Amino acid sequence: MHILDTPIDFLKGVGPARADLLKKELRIFTYGDLLMHYPFRYIDKSKMHKTADLNQDTPYVQLSGQIIKFEEKGLKASKRLIAHFQDETGIVELVWFKGISWIRSGVKLHTDYIVFGKPSSFKGKFNIVHPELELQEGEQQFSATLLAVYPATEKLNAKGLTSKAIGKLTKALLPLLKNNLDETLSPELIQKLNLPTREQSYFDIHIPKDAKALIRAQKRLKFEEFFFLQLHLLKLKLTRRKKFKGYAFENLGDGFNDFYNKYLPFQLTGAQKRVLKEIRRDVRNPQQMNRLLQGDVGSGKTLVALLSMLMAVDNKYQACLMAPTEILARQHFETTSVYLENQDIKLAILTGSTKTKARKILHEQLENGEINILIGTHALLEDKVKFKQLALVVIDEQHRFGVAQRAKLWKKNDFPPHILVMTATPIPRTLSMTLYGDLDVSVIDELPPGRKEIKTMWKTDSSRLQIIGFMREQIALKRQIYVVFPLIEESEKLDYKDLMEGFTAIEREFPMPEFQVSVVHGRMIAEDKEYEMKRFSEGTTNIMVATTVIEVGVDVPNASVMIIESAERFGLSQLHQLRGRVGRGTKQSYCILVSGHKVSNEGKTRLQTMVDTNDGFKISEVDLSLRGPGDMMGTKQSGELNFKIADLVADNKILHFARKEAESLLQDDENLAKAENINIARAYHPYARERSGWSRIS
């Protein structure tokens, strides 16, 4: 057994009760776990303060002096011990509410101590509650100027497993590891990047000699964390390329060519063409494609998907497109039907509300290969749905699909279909590198010509009349308007009430028969939703009042005004996605964000960012910095973005670095077989084993 796998119970200072706490509260089971329980910040202990200089702004102070008097005040629960601590500039009170007798018997009067703690002011005087006390002589074995602070919970604190106690355990552990930790990086890499050794890094991260040593240790450990993940993702990609056969779409035929040359109503943008070439290059080879397609809202991803599906159909294979909502699936089905109306290609749709009878027929036609392209929702994933030869799967707006759900699709065949994943809005490069680091990436970085920048305004409730006036003007110009209300699960009832009240208010302002108003929300049955969507997309209704069901994908080019109510309650990418429902034609479009008067600082940043820019790539960066990666991608629990020390946002330079190093390493030594890479190979293999089952496509 490796020393790092030693159960934590064996460490000096860890009894059964503590071991239990460490396991339950901090998931520390072994020496290795404790070693990697990193401090979350450090306190500079190199500075000595004077009692006379204390002020509200000093978060932590270190004082040198003597206790000249003890005093006990209060009774029972409010009992406290007060020590008068004096240095050459004055006196400050140290206060204990707990462990009073222990302090009284252990701490000596008129003896030099170092006091460390957080000053607070009480009735105009400063005091320090539960400070740390250290005798001045008797240098500790490890003296550090930067004191590590460990994350702790209330429960741990109550049971005495404070940050300080954890620091002590770490100090007991580190000497045991001396000369016992294998290096995980190659000497070449260590030298090239000027990193400290692994052993040195662990010492310095817990007990830094100085700030410089700490920074180097952090850099090394962060690099290592990113590096092995990138190595893993890149290796997955390589292995798949070698091992996983895919369907070769050898020829383009009438399906693709006729559509492209005869029926496509516009020119593809340069970016669309480039991305199509990238896809074409992949699918003509008998190897599985795994590609992520990124592009801003309205950049024309759907069309790229359709053309890719035609490549499959031309080679007598089937393709499917999976959308996150029924509305969106239906819309894809309808637009695609129109696009393909002149061609002999059979399309079908399958959603949760497809009737049993229709379903039966559909199952049959899928299995005998009559259906060429199937469009649908999660319903596609059911075991009953079998294809004759499914060769391409397009996943639209993928972040709503779970990893496990996606994996199901690849199991529908003897060998895996090509996969094209499209994101709803762009995601930052650091995230795509991590979450989809095993996929190839295509980016559509250009909007179709003639699009006008959407004008975005931020208004409060008090501008209601002005907004209604604006809506009237726009309707007079024959434009259509969306009014969106938030619907967030916890407060669903209330939100529903808001929506219906909003709907009534709008109907009052825009009465029939002069105006037509539609409403769509999650509680309606699919047929009614579809009916209302249709009336709106055909231009029968002027205003569509809706919840976020229209958030993704819906495409009605004549709609040119998006009004978002309670906009402060929406996330940034959601706002951008909603705004993307307008600005799809060539007319000037508008987005009006309506908020209450009280908006949190973060809310203000979100709304102001929307006003400032239309660029989805920029917006996603702001979103990432506001929410952090886990929240942004809805993968908080999945572990894919849980780093022990590295931070995707703050350390993105190190990440890029790590990716580059991993790439060049594999280029040179794909199997990590060269002698100089033995350290890396030894560390990588157990890492990969632990992570297998982790890749979304396997």
Q: Could you list the residues that contact Mg ion (CB under 5 A)?
A: 302, 553
Nearer to ligand ADP (CB atom), residue 167 or residue 300? 300
> Is residue 279 close enough to count as binding ligand ADP by CB under 6 A?
no
- 484's CB contacts (< 8 A; 6+ apart) are 546, 547, 548, 550, 562, 563, 564, 565, 578
Contact between 269 and ligand ADP per CB under 6 A: yes
We find the least distance from the C-beta atom of residue 579 to ligand ADP, in angstroms, to be: 11
Among 300, 437, 486, 629, binds ligand ADP (CB under 6 A): 300
User: Which residues, in sequence order, are bridge partners of residue 443?
Assistant: 294
Q: Which of residues 471 and 591 has its CB atom nearest to Mg ion in the complex? A: 591
300 binds, among ligand ADP, Mg ion, none (CB under 5 to 8 A by kind): ligand ADP
If the CB atoms of residues 314 and 397 are measured against ligand ADP, the closer one turns out to be 397
Nearer to Mg ion by C-beta: 303 or 345?
Answer: 303
CA dist., res. 128 & res. 95, Å (int): 6
Residue whose CB is less far from Mg ion, 424 or 572: 424
Residue count, binding to ligand ADP (CB under 6 A): 17
User: In the range 571-600, which residues lie near ligand ADP by CB under 6 A?
Assistant: 584
Which of ligand ADP, Mg ion, none interacts with 268 (beta carbon under 5 to 8 A by kind)?
Answer: ligand ADP
Please choose, out of 21-29, 80-88, 251-259, 294-302, the segment that lies near ligand ADP by the rule CB under 6 A.
294-302
Nearer to Mg ion, 166 or 520 (CB): 520
User: Measured from the CB atom, is 196 or 553 closer to Mg ion?
Assistant: 553
Instruction: List, as one string, the DSSP characters of 395-448.
Output: ESSGGGS-HHHHHHHHTTSSSPPEEEEE-SS---HHHHHHHSTTSEEEEE--PP
Instruction: Please select the residue that binds ligand ADP; options are 167, 298, 426, 616, rule is CB under 6 A.
Output: 298
Sheet holding 543-546, edge to edge: 455-460, 590-595, 559-564, 480-484, 543-546, 517-520
- How far CA 407 is from CA of 294, 305, 447, 474, in Å, comes to 20, 20, 32, 46
Q: Find, among 466, 471, 559, the residue nearest to 515 by Cα.
A: 471
Q: Provide φ and ψ at 481, rounded to 5°.
A: -130, 140
Query: Can you read off the two tokens belonging to residue 100?
Result: 């009073």
295 binds, among ligand ADP, Mg ion, none (CB under 5 to 8 A by kind): ligand ADP
Check binding of 302 to ligand ADP (CB under 6 A). yes
- How far apart, in whole angstroms, are the C-alpha atoms of residue 95 and residue 99? 11
Report the residue number, 51 or 302, with the smaller CB distance to Mg ion.
302
- Contact between 474 and ligand ADP by CB under 6 A: the answer reads no
For residue 340, the tally of other CB atoms under 10 A from its CB is: 22
Q: What is the CA radius of gyration of the chain?
A: 31
Stretch that binds ligand ADP, among 66-74, 110-118, 157-165, 267-275 (CB under 6 A): 267-275
Give the containing element (helix H, strand E) for 45: none
What is the CB-side half-sphere exposure of residue 309 using CA atoms within 13 A? 28
In residues, how long is the chain?
698
Site pattern 524..563 for ligand ADP (x: CB under 6 A) = -------------------------------x-x------
269 binding partner (options ligand ADP, Mg ion, none; Cβ < 5 to 8 Å by kind): ligand ADP
CB of 305 to Mg ion, least distance (A): 8
Residue of 21, 297, 421, 658 interacting with ligand ADP (CB under 6 A): 297
Per the CB < 8 A criterion, the answer to whether 374 and 366 are in contact is yes
Sole binder of ligand ADP in the list 30, 62, 170, 272 (CB under 6 A): 272
Stretch that binds ligand ADP, among 94-102, 148-156, 300-308, 601-609 (CB under 6 A): 300-308
Nearer to Mg ion, 128 or 582 (CB): 582
Figure out which of the listed residues 43, 303, 340, 366 binds ligand ADP, where binding follows CB under 6 A: 303
Beta bridge partners of 82: 71, 95
The Cα–Cα gap between 420 and 101 comes to 68
Which among ligand ADP, Mg ion, none contacts residue 297 (Cβ within 5 to 8 A by kind)?
Answer: ligand ADP
Q: At what angle do helices 211-243 and 198-206 cross, to 10 degrees?
A: 130
Write out the two tokens for 413: 């065949």
Nearer to ligand ADP, 304 or 483 (CB): 304
Find where tokens 């978060």 sit.
59
Chosen from Mg ion, ligand ADP, none, partner binding at 298 (C-beta under 5 to 8 Å by type)? ligand ADP
Nearest to 492 by CA among 532, 548, 544, 530: 548
Residue 295 within binding range of ligand ADP, rule CB under 6 A: yes
Burial 106-145 (b: 16+ CB within 10 A, else e): ebeeeeebbbbbebeeeeeebbbeebebeeeeeeeeeebe
**385: partner contacted, choices Mg ion, ligand ADP, none (Cβ within 5-8 A by kind):** none
CB closest to ligand ADP, residue no: 300
- Pattern 445-464, ligand ADP, x by CB under 6 A: ---x----------------
Which distant-in-sequence residues (6+ apart) come within 8 Å of 40 by Cβ?
149, 150, 151
**Subset of 346-385 contacting ligand ADP (CB under 6 A):** none
Binding mask 600-629 for ligand ADP (x = CB under 6 A): ------------------------------
Q: Is 274 in the site for ligand ADP (CB under 6 A)?
A: no
The least CB distance from residue 456 to Mg ion, in Å, is 20
> Looking at 298-306, 433-441, 631-639, 668-676, which segment touches ligand ADP (CB under 6 A)?
298-306
What one-letter code names the amino acid at 343?
Answer: Q
Note the helical H segments in 315-355: 326-339
For position 97 contacting ligand ADP by CB under 6 A, the verdict is no
Which one of residues 299, 442, 474, 480 is an interface residue with ligand ADP (CB under 6 A)?
A: 299
d(CA 583, CA 309): 27
Residue 261 burial (10 A CB sphere; 0-12, 13-18, 19+): exposed
* Interface with ligand ADP (CB under 6 A): 266-269, 272, 295, 297-303, 448, 555, 557, 584
